[in-house]
Amino acid sequence: MQNRRLIPMNRNVVFAWSVLLAGLFSVPFFAACSDGQGEEITINFKAMVGDKAFSCSESYADIGTGKSPMKLVDFRFYVHKVRVINAAGEEVPVTLKEDGKWQSDRLALLDFEDHSGTCAEGKGNEGTNTSIVGYVPKKDGIKGLKFIIGVPEDINHLDAAQATAPLDQSTSMFWSWNRGYRFLRFDAITTDTNRYAFHFGSIGCTVDDNKKLESCKFANRVEFSFDSFDPSTNTVVADIDALLKEADVQKADGAQAPGCMSTPETPGCAAPFKAIGLTYGQDAAPKDQTFLKVE
């Protein structure tokens, strides 16, 4: 039998190899587990009309107090200040994942229309976005959700020509006459000649010559809160039937076409404001909103 002589290895060489091997195995592992921003979560949304899915090719019946027919044209809204509630009952901010289109690190645009069917008559585009993606320190144990429908005040009145994502996705979300963005836009066809529109945003705003906000008579930002929400199993549902349940979608208010342009004194705003949980005129704020729910 041939004897094999083991050659002793220098301790420094052993140490160097140990460090190298540890690095080779650990770097991919940690890169796969975290990108330094926390754990990624997805908050899913869907649009419904009662028990029917939102569709640009469907006709819906019995909408509002007049039981009117309706075909959909546009439905989009902005969301910011997203927070989850952890197991300890604490609010934890969600850092949104920038994608250069639908989200910045603080604002997301949800878009349910795809510019097909009757939606081709609107001012949207072909793309859709029905989820918010972001980061939290720990995704296990999430039990609730909070967010605001609206655009943060500090960017709501900037020059639209210089806007970045997601504010640059469509000029039709910008109110040129009001010098700010529509937080929510819903448009529909009720008859061959009639349309209904609910355009929701800050009203009565003034800005200086540098486009800096001076004041808004009605800020109209609404916070939504859900005590029970698990992003791995739940979805936020936006129900158009609930939004318009107490509205007469074919009734014009004087010179204004059927609908609401966010002015609290306009009669057509009473029903949708109540549905989203916002004070209308001198009325007290509704106890509960009915527009959004979790399922």
Domains in the chain: boundaries: 38-294
211 to 154, 158, 165, 174, 218: CA distances (angstroms): 11, 6, 19, 14, 18
pLDDT tens profile 115-155: 999 999 999 888 999 999 999 999 999 999 999 999 999 99
269: confidence class by pLDDT, cuts 50, 70, 90: very high
22: confidence class by pLDDT, cuts 50, 70, 90: very low
pLDDT tens profile 79-126: 999 999 999 999 999 999 999 999 999 999 999 999 999 999 999 888
Phi, then psi, of 267 in degrees rounded to 5: -55, -35
CA distance 76 to 107: 13
